Amino acid sequence: MVTASRPGPPVPPPPPSPSAVAAARPGGAATDRSGAAPSGRRGRGDFASPVAGVEPIVVTWVLVAFVAVVMYAVSVPIDAAVYHVHVAAAFGIALVQVGSLLLAMWNGWAAAAAFLAGQAAFGLLATADPGMPWPVTVTQLILLCALLVLLVLRGSSNAAAALWLGAIVVPLAIAFVPGHGATPDGVVANLVTSGAVSALVLSAALGVTAWRARLGAALDDERRVSAAEHERRLIAEERTRIAREMHDVIAHGMSIIQVQASSAPYRLTGLDEAATAEFAEIAASARSAMAEMRALLGVLRDPAGEPETAPQPGLAQLPELVASVERAGVPVSLEIAPGLLDGGPTARAAYRIVQESLSNVLRHAPGAATLVRVERASGPRAGLDLVVRNAPVTDAAGEPVITRPEAGAGHGLVGMRERVRMLGGRIESGETVDGGFEVRAMLPLAADGPAGEDS
Whether the model pTM is above 0.75: no
DSSP string spanning 96-155? HHHHHHHHTTT-HHHHHHHHHHHHHHHHHH--PPTTS--SS-HHHHHHHHHHHHHHHHTT
Map out the domains of the chain as residue ranges. 18-34+314-454, 56-218, 234-300
Are 36 and 393 spatial neighbours (Cβ–Cβ below 8 Å)? yes
Helical pair 138-153 and 108-125, crossing angle rounded to 10 deg: 170
Cα separation, 310 vs 455, whole angstroms = 33
Are 365 and 437 spatial neighbours (Cβ–Cβ below 8 Å)? yes
Cα separation, 221 vs 195, whole angstroms = 39
Are 363 and 16 spatial neighbours (Cβ–Cβ below 8 Å)? yes
Are 377 and 385 spatial neighbours (Cβ–Cβ below 8 Å)? yes
Q: E-strand spans in 311-447?
A: 332-336, 370-376, 383-390, 393-394, 400-401, 426-431, 437-444
In this structure, CATH architecture of domain 18-34+314-454: 2-Layer Sandwich (3.30)
Coil, strand or helix at 371: strand
For the four alpha carbons of 407, 412, 418 and 419, in that order, the dihedral sign comes to negative
φ and ψ of 384, to 5 deg: -120, 140
One digit per residue, pLDDT tens: the chain, 455 residues?
334 444 444 444 444 444 443 443 434 333 343 333 444 444 444 555 555 556 788 888 999 999 999 999 999 999 998 888 999 999 999 999 999 999 999 999 999 999 999 999 998 888 887 778 888 899 999 999 999 999 999 989 999 999 999 999 998 888 776 666 666 777 888 889 999 999 999 999 999 989 988 988 888 888 888 888 888 888 877 777 777 676 666 766 777 787 778 888 888 888 888 888 888 889 888 888 877 777 777 666 655 555 455 567 888 889 998 988 887 778 999 999 888 876 678 888 898 899 888 888 877 887 889 999 999 877 666 788 999 999 987 765 566 665 544 444 455 677 788 788 888 899 999 999 988 999 999 998 754 333 333 33
Q: What angle do CA 83, 84, 89 make, to 5 degrees?
A: 100
